[in-house]
């Protein structure tokens, strides 16, 4: 008996690779408007870099990000790498020669976290066919990922916080609890920034 192929909503499909790709993001325009109202997501912030550094140290991960996503790309407004706190080159380097904080929207796992609206734990991305073919595996060498969404007081998913490693990592329940707690902490920090800006305005 022939069954009809199941419909997979909100997912792009590349028939040349036979892999499910990055989920479509219908909330992106509203998210961009919210991020602009908050004044975040388009430039690095020292506070977010410090937050990424704290996440890396807490989880003992070599890389940590505070990531905001628009219709076309991801922007690491907070970033920690083991290279003396300098940004790792995850995208095309700007003319100045400094590493970029920009990554294509179809790279990595944060867009999946935004779409799911819940944390994602990948001890070894190669254990998951859906994620093993992601470009960051071959291009950057990422093997494990731990991320959680930043959901603000309006219910909008602003972006994510995440840590990654170049080796498989058993994050466990402790890792899941930690990344969710860090996400809640940063959302409160963003709300405090919003209140402060409102009072000053």
In the chain, pLDDT over 90 holds for what percent of residues? 67
Per-residue pLDDT at 5 exceeds 50: no
Q: List alpha helices for the chain, DSSP H.
A: 28-38, 46-59, 110-116, 129-132, 135-139, 172-200
pLDDT score of 95: 40
Predicted TM-score (pTM) of this structure:
0.82
Average pLDDT, rounded, for the chain: 84
The DSSP letter of residue 9 is: T
Q: What is the C-alpha to C-alpha distance for residues 158 and 146, in angstroms, rounded to an integer?
A: 17
């Amino acid at each position: 008996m022939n069954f009809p192929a199941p419909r997979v909503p909100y997912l792009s499909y590349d028939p040349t690779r036979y892999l499910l790709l990055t989920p479509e993001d219908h909330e992106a325009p509203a998210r961009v408007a919210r991020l602009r109202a908050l004044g975040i997501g388009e430039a690095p912030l020292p506070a977010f870099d410090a937050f990424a550094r704290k996440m890396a140290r807490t989880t003992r991960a070599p890389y940590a990000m505070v990531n905001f996503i628009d219709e076309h790309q991801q922007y690491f407004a907070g970033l920690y790498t083991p290279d003396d706190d300098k940004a790792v080159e995850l995208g095309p380097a700007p003319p100045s020669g400094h590493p970029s904080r920009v990554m294509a929207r179809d790279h990595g796992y944060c867009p999946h976290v935004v779409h799911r609206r819940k944390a994602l734990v990948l001890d070894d991305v190669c254990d998951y066919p859906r994620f093993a073919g992601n470009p960051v595996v071959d291009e950057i060498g990422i093997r494990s990922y731990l991320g959680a969404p930043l959901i603000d007081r309006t219910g909008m998913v602003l972006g994510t916080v995440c840590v990654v490693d170049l080796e498989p990592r058993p994050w466990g329940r402790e890792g899941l609890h930690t990344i969710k707690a860090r996400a809640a902490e940063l959302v409160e920090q963003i709300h405090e920034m919003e209140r402060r800006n409102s009072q000053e305005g």
